[in-house]
Chain A
Amino acid sequence: MLHDFVTQFWPSTIDGLSAGAIYALVALGYTMVYGVLRLINFAHSEVFMVGTFAALFVLSNVLDITHPITGIALVGVLLAMAAAAMISSGVTAVVLERVAYRPLRRKGASRLAALISAIGASFFLQELFALFVIPTVFHREQHGRDQIPVPHVMDKEGLFSIGNGVVRNDKLLVLVAAVVMMVLLDQLVNRTKVGRGIRATAQDPETAVLMGINIDRIILVTFVVGGAMAGVAAALYALEYENIKYNIGFLLGIKAFTAAVMGGIGNLRGALLGGLLLGLIEFYGASVFGSEWRDVIAFTVLVVVLMFRPTGILGEPLQKARA
């Protein structure tokens, strides 16, 4: 057991970091919406799912890629994938807010009602893709619920190795892209006017309104940014794992939310830390206990972390802890 851990240490570290980077990007959407609205945006997993299909759409329907490409063309294709995924995920998030959350917010509904509405919206989007979008857009009549392969767009080769672990180009790309997006988002929230609005709304929405902040706009921006981050994660996921499905978001969404909670929900840096940590723990644990225990390990660690740090590792600074 321990021997497996030692021999698998570097490969697990590399796999864990690249999986964790995707958790972190999706976790950002949960943590931002939670920070501002105190709502578990349960349908965020479907925002991610829409992004993966947008990336597939660019590859298979627009560009019709059948074999791996290299050089500038590859960079262009990757950017196109990311842009399409970001835009469609962002739009999905905004539509969700308009249709499923804003009417409830206007009525001053309980958070529980909003959560149920989110669960309903989540099922709705999954079924929409399984029944209509996948069969028609991707020409898979009667097979909307099957796994769909993503065209192999880049050759995955080892760049260099650390210990006995080979760092593959796609995994490095995922990690770097995630960290870059994180830094950009951190700057947006901490340096810009919109970011100040987001922080103010998270701290105290009532006072924020009195200070002349258009709270509806801030909420909209929060959903757009969270959706775009999920879009980036979706494009990277499609690139790395090359298989997508209508319910792909569910488990990933739960993991990402776990990461957000572990880092301290409402805390952007906590989302990054929680995501990477969760990825590492999962792969280390899998190397010791076997990969079928991956999810159990993740949730057990979450419970243990919360027992000792009830508001996550980094706490909740995006909002003041409100009773």
Chain B
Amino acid sequence: MTNPLTQLRRAAGGGLDGVRNRWETAPGAVRWAVYLLLILGALVLPSDAIGSVMSPRTDWATLLFNPIGIYVLLAIGLNVVVGQAGLLDLGYVAFFAIGGYAMAMLGTKLHWDFWVILVAGVLISALSGVVLGAPTLRLRGDYLAIVTLGFGEIVRIVANNTDSIGGPNGISGIPHPPTIADVAIGDVHPLRYGILDPRPYYYLLVAICVLVIIFVRRLEHSRVGRSWAAIREDEEAAEIMGVPTYRFKLLAFAIGASIGGAAGVVFASKVISITPMDFPFILSATILAAVVLGGSGNLPGVILGAFVMAWLPEFLRGVSPSGQDFSQYRTIAFAGLLVAMMIWRPEGLLPSRRRKAEFAEGTGGLGGLGAEVTGPDTSSAEVTR
């Protein structure tokens, strides 16, 4: 009776649930072993052997830093706003830009140390998140979306039109982080930040990602995380239950913004020169797509989504069945895949359990489409339930 494809998907979903159950009952030592293995995996990832499979055409370690590493960090940050608090932000790239410009300005004009700027950049971005959020967070869903989109554009255009921060030419000569210690492991100097080798920057990103993941994970299971989930599922009910929704939404914005800012600081210190063109709206859309594709609200899913979004277009660049250069077709292939993915698995690749439950109610946390009752599948589900 049921479609074999649906059966297959259910079986796959069941397998995933099995993994989840085992994970939740696993003893602490096993979990720590898995975490260590994952971090080790991230450390050996930039090796040439993996690179020759993953990206035969472009330098794999460079790709791992930008776009892959940057996308992953941005997606983790946006996931706090969209996935956890359920606030649709279409201008997330603004915070990435603010972090990048903070690094560029403080580094070239005031000659601050990278590590000081990292802290300052995070604080400046968090402040800008509050500045954007304070007047706008009383707005509902789509109004908030368009206002954040406008904010992203405002930041980019202001950077483009202000000559004191370089105008359309941007800022160049951004200093690299100072070398911490010149230790060599093989031919890699993981703590020497130069021009040529992207791997030290990649390791820096991995370290920041690990810290951020721990931070976000702790938040998710705290009072703050529960409040976000309540706001996401029903804001009015949350308010009535005594959750100070406005304050928690502002907090989500500030935390999301500071993670985006951190990504911006690291990005700017690696690429030496930034221009307003580095922070287009498309990047906001791509990061949002990464979050939703991976499974909004679920960290492993979001990381997977960001990885796919960053890596797939580069991988498609290398695919050349008949020796032709297909690199110009990668965006169209990618766009088609995005639509197909949303039709095939609208809840994302790895949805969280809670999200799945919300999804089964037909809202996915952000409200369903207005006319969702029409589908024969959903209406029959209503009857049998």
- Interface, chain A (partner B; CB < 8 A): 34, 36-40, 99-101, 103-117, 119-124, 127-128, 131, 201-202, 205-206, 209, 215-216, 219, 250, 254, 257-258, 261, 265, 292-293, 295-296, 298-300, 302-303, 306-307, 310-311, 319, 322-323
Q: Are A201 and B371 in contact (CB under 8 A)?
A: yes
* Chain B residues within an 8 Å CB radius of A34: 142
| B259 at the binding interface (Cβ < 8 Å) | no
Residue from the list A37, A38, A110 in contact with B346, Cβ < 8 A: A110
A247 to B82, CA, bound (A): 27
Choice from A39, A124, A254, A323 contacting B369 with Cβ under 8 Å: A39
Contact of B370 with A254 in the complex, beta carbons under 8 Å: no
Secondary structure dominating the interface of B? helix
Q: Which of A99, A206, A299 has the most chain B CB atoms closer than 10 A to its own CB?
A: A299
CB nearest neighbor in A for B136: A303
* Contact, CB under 8 Å: A38 / B369: yes
Residue on A with the closest CB to B370?
Answer: A38
State the Cβ distance, A54 to closest chain B Cβ, in Å.
20
Q: Which residue of A lies closest to B235 (CB)?
A: A323
The answer to whether B368 touches A124, judged by C-beta atoms less than 8 angstroms apart, is: no
Interface of A, helix, strand, loop or mixed by DSSP? helix
Q: Which residues of B contact A37 (CB under 8 A)?
A: 369-371
Given contact pairs A124-B339, A215-B374, enumerate 20 new A-B contacts (beta carbons under 8 Å): A38-B142, A39-B370, A100-B342, A109-B359, A109-B364, A111-B141, A112-B296, A113-B292, A113-B342, A120-B337, A124-B336, A205-B373, A206-B373, A209-B373, A258-B150, A292-B160, A298-B150, A302-B146, A306-B147, A322-B370
**B373→A299 contact, CB < 8 A:** no
A120 / chain B contacts, CB cutoff of 8 Å? 289, 335-339, 342
Contacts known (A106-B376, A303-B136); A114 close to B342, Cβ less than 8 A: yes
Q: B27 on the interface (CB 8 Å rule)?
A: no
Interface centre among A107, A219, A296, A302 (most CB of B within 10 A): A107
Which residues of B lie under 8 Å from residue A99 when comparing CB positions?
A: 339
B121 at interface, CB cutoff 8 A: no
- For A105, give its contact among B142, B329, B371 (CB under 8 Å): B371
- Chain B interface residue count, CB cutoff 8 Å, equals 62
Task: Flag whether B158 is at the interface (Cβ < 8 A).
Answer: yes
Cβ–Cβ contact A303 & B135, under 8 A:
yes
B142 touches A302 (CB 8 A): no
Beta-carbon contacts under 8 Å, B334-385 to A: 334-339, 342-343, 346-347, 359, 362-378
Q: Is B338 within 8 A of A116, CB to CB?
A: yes
Most buried by B among A39, A110, A131, A298: A110
In whole angstroms, how far apart are the Cα atoms of A264 and B97 in the complex?
30
* Complex: A34 Cα to B367 Cα, angstroms: 13
Residue B154 CB within 8 A of the other chain: yes
CA distance A73 to B230 in the complex (A): 64
Contact of A114 among B161, B296, B369 (CB under 8 A): B369
B289 contacts across to A, CB distance below 8 A: 116, 119-120
A299 cross-chain contacts in B, Cβ below 8 A: 150-151, 153-154
Contact of A107 with B378 at beta-carbon distance under 8 Å, contacts A121-B335, A127-B335 already known: yes
Sampled A-B contacts (29; CB under 8 Å): A38-B142, A99-B339, A104-B342, A106-B378, A108-B372, A109-B347, A111-B141, A111-B368, A112-B292, A112-B364, A114-B346, A115-B292, A116-B288, A119-B288, A120-B337, A124-B336, A127-B332, A131-B328, A131-B329, A202-B370, A205-B373, A206-B373, A209-B373, A215-B373, A215-B374, A299-B154, A300-B150, A302-B147, A322-B370
Residues of A within 8 A of B363 (CB): 110
Residues in chain B near residue A216, CB distance under 8 A? 374
